[in-house]
Amino acid sequence: MKKSICELLSFVLLFVMAGCGNIAAEGGHESVSEQTEVQAEQSIDHNKVSAETESRELSGSVPEQEQETNMEQKTLVAYFSATGTTEPLAEYAAEILDADIYEIVPEVPYTEADLAYYTNGRADQEQNDPSARPAIAGNVENMEEYDTIILGYPIWHGQAPRIISTFLESYDFSGKTIIPFCTSHSSGIGSSADNLHGLCSDSVKWLEGRRFEAGTAKETMGNWLENVIVK
């Protein structure tokens, strides 16, 4: 009987010890898995940081504000207007695009006699001479800042006045976009803009130009700009 009680007690003791062992094992296991989770979290955080660092390194670490400034497009409206017809259209363009404006002013102003066409006056003579380069008074000091130039001029004998050639040869327009427009009595823009391409670097992007009649409304200019720039 004593032996059976002893055997029973030993059995109970063994059972209890096995149970404790299990708990210890489970406790140990739990603690290992908790540790693994913490390590995993730390590792994710670390990866996140290194991914962020990597992406900053790839993007050249340029702060967002600076990137926005670099991406900002700056437009200049440059125009020549001998008798004031082209000028208001250039002003409309500058207002609509919130652009800077520059008037191409001849060093020697054109007199009425100079502009009387088919009289072999000054303007006629210049247009008959492809190498004529009437001097411009003043200049654009910060041309390198502009990405896009809207270029306005009157049609003189089917072409842009030679002073436009002077203007185009005075600056490096490489990589810039030029958008020409003109006014005239009745002629279209014709080949006047195409004939200016050769005066600039091949890397200039010329967009299609348009002719406007005298007294064109601001809205018409706005519609054209929207079309030509968005297109």
State the sign of the Cα–Cα–Cα–Cα dihedral 39, 45, 46, 47.
Answer: positive
Span from 142-150, 166-174, 185-193, 218-226 in contact with ligand FMN (CB under 6 A):
185-193
> Taking contact as CB under 6 A, which single stretch among the options 3-11, 140-148, 149-157, 172-180 is the one that binds ligand FMN?
149-157
| Binds ligand FMN (CB under 6 A): choice among 76, 77, 78, 82 | 82
Please give the full DSSP string across the chain, using - where no structure is assigned: -HHHHHHHHHHHHHHHHHHHHHHHHHHHHHHHHHHHHHHHHHHHHHHHHHHHHHHHHHTTT--HHHHHHHH---EEEEE--SSSSHHHHHHHHHHHHT-EEEE-EESSPPPHHHH-TTTT-HHHHHHH-TT----EES--TTGGG-SEEEEEEE-BTTB--HHHHHHHHTS--TT-EEEEEEE-SS---TTTTGGGGGGS-TT-EEPP-EEE-TT--HHHHHHHHHHHHH-
Choose, by CB under 6 A, the member of 148, 166, 184, 192 that binds ligand FMN. Answer: 184
Tell whether residue 115 is a contact of ligand FMN (CB under 6 A): yes
Q: Is 158 an interacting residue with respect to ligand FMN (CB under 6 A)?
A: yes
Residue count at the site for ligand FMN (CB under 6 A)? Answer: 21
Which parts of 41-80 interact with ligand FMN (CB under 6 A)? none
Binding mask 199-228 for ligand FMN (x = CB under 6 A): ---------------x--------------
* Least Å from the CB of residue 213 to ligand FMN: 8
Which of 170, 187, 195, 220 binds ligand FMN (CB under 6 A)? It is 187
Q: How far is the CB of 92 from ligand FMN (least distance, A)?
A: 13
**Which of 84, 130, 138, 175 contacts ligand FMN by CB under 6 A?**
84
Which residues bind to ligand FMN, rule: CB under 6 A? 81-86, 115, 117, 123-124, 154-158, 183-187, 214
